[in-house]
Amino acid sequence: MKYIWIVGILLFCNSAVLLAQDGGESWSLQRCIDYAYQNSLQVQQANLAVQQAKLGQKQAYWAQFPTANASFRHGFNFGRSIDVTSYSYVNQVTQSSSLGLNLNQPIFQGLQIRNGIIQSKVDVAAAQKDVEQTRNDISLQVAQIYLSILLAKESVQVLTEQAKVTTAQLEQTKKLIDAGVVADNSKYDLIAQTARDQENIVNAQNSLQLAFVNLKTLMNLDVSESIDIEPIQDFEVDEVTNLATLEAVYEQAVNTQPNIAASKLRENSAKIGVDIAKGGLYPSINLYGGLQTNFSGASRSFDGVDSSYFPVGGAVIATQDPVLVQIPNFQARRGDVIPYFSQLGDNISGNVGINISVPIFNGMRTRISIQRAELAVKSAELATKQQEVALKGNIDRALNDVKAAAERYKAAKNTVTATRMSVQNTRKRFDLGVVNSFELTSVQNILISSESNLLQAKYDYLFKLKILDFYKGTAITIE
């Protein structure tokens, strides 16, 4: 009887593990998908790309407005230099300052600004399609792991029930041994079977825990968080008799898959890039204007004029007296330095005008830019074709996978039905003493294996159907 007590304790421990496992809050598939949408690192990365594209759009929009720049410079001049306030030469150490404000308004840039705005909008739309594709991929991955958890849960339940049956058989065998009906060695095969049952349960529980870790990691949920998934009662998969054709599914997918739409948008963006590059062949027209003022330490106020007389040569013919000319003594007319802000106010000047730049030769940069843009268009077109070819191949593979999974599921159900009948018959023969315990455990192991195969076939078939729905643009749900 000690073996029965050992098995009972093990089964109780397994039940306790399952209860602890289910103690967390139950999450539906939709809740898992929604949480992944908000917190998945892949989705966050895709959203950052959208923000980058929007910044590019904002920059392209503001390029059509004027630019304004202010400048300030202050320094010291040594030796012979120009006094910026009087434009005369001085030969002394002076301070000077200059302040300016310049504005530039683009009028025509070969439509580069306009096309840049259009291109930036297309780039934003393509980045948003990338987010949609990432979300779709995440939802498919979450569904796959969700189904793997359901499979692991059912496997644990099936193996636990099988362990109970083995335990009951062992108890019955002990009674037959005590009654002298069967030999004492009949119990050893069943004892070994109970150990195998426990090993199978432990392995299934480990698979279940790993599936939960994978789900939390994908959703970017703390792995220490205790969660469970909502059970699905009477879960069966209906066999699909009429599958859609490859062309029908492809026609749906090519119009619904965001990655195809994103690739086509990038084609349009590349074509606009050619127009932007060609804009460099046209003249550019800009309005400009500015204000400036300056200060010089050499600029001084007048402090009176000291007139001196100097002979300049020649004489008055009648008297032969030398000719004297009165000229100012410039050294005496310099007074104090004109105050800083007074000079800034007195020296204000401005300018306004139009600037036309006609490209003639710039080292073939514009022509090369056009050629690069044209190559970018061809590259974008090839990328779209690659996406479409890959999509068609994936759909064809998905259709074949569904057909193969359906056949496997059907065969697995037939195998389980036949094996259960065999087990029932063997149990009756064992109770009558016709077969030994080794034969009974052998056929029971076959049943465990066939039931495990059936569970795997069922969930594999369901997931293959969900992949097909994914390409059709249908939301992933489990009912």
Angle in degrees, 0-180, between the axes of helices 29-39 and 186-219, rounded to the nearest 10: 40
pLDDT at 318 (0 to 100): 54
Q: What is the pLDDT of residues 245-267, one digit of tens each?
A: 899 999 999 999 999 999 999 99
Contact 355, 285 (CB under 8 A): yes
pLDDT in tens, 290-347: 999 988 877 777 655 444 444 455 555 555 555 555 444 444 445 678 888 888 888 8
**CA-wise closest residue to 288 among 106, 32, 472:** 106
- Number of alpha carbons in the 13 Å side-chain half-sphere of residue 390: 10
Nearest to 127 by CA among 38, 47, 60: 47
CA 310 to CA 327: how far, in whole Å?
8
Residue found by looking up tokens 């089964």 in the block: 11
CA 84 remoteness from chain centre:
57
Q: Report residue 478: phi and psi, to 5°.
A: -125, 120
Q: Per-residue pLDDT tens for 193-234?
A: 889 889 989 999 999 999 999 999 999 999 988 999 987 766
Residue 211 near residue 173, CB atoms below 8 Å: no
Range name among 49-53, 273-277, 340-344 with the lowest pLDDT average: 340-344
Residue ranges of domains in the chain, CATH in brackets: 2-299+338-472 (1.20.1600.10)
Q: What is d(CA 100, CA 302) in angstroms, rounded to the nearest whole number?
A: 28
Gap between the Cα atoms of 97 and 180, Å rounded: 119
- Residue 225's φ and ψ, nearest 5 degrees, are -70, 130
- Pairing mode, strands 334-337 and 300-302: antiparallel
- Where is mean pLDDT largest: 210-214, 235-239, 320-324, 454-458? 210-214
Rounded Cα–Cα distance for residues 355 and 337 (Å): 38
The tokens describing 283, both together, are: 């003249």
Q: Phi then psi for 456, rounded to 5 degrees?
A: -65, -40
Contact by Cβ (8 Å): 11, 167: yes
The pLDDT value given to residue 86: 66
- 279 pLDDT band (50/70/90 cuts)? very high
> Counting every residue, how long is the chain?
479
Q: What percent of the chain has pLDDT over 90?
A: 48
Residue 178's pLDDT is 78
* Burial letters 301-310, b for 16+ CB under 10 A, else e: eeeeeeeeee
Residue with tokens 């434009």: 87
Query: Which positions ≥6 away from 318 have C-beta within 8 Å?
Result: none
Q: Specify the higher pLDDT residue, 157 or 54.
A: 54
Confidence at 126, pLDDT banded by 50, 70, 90 = very high
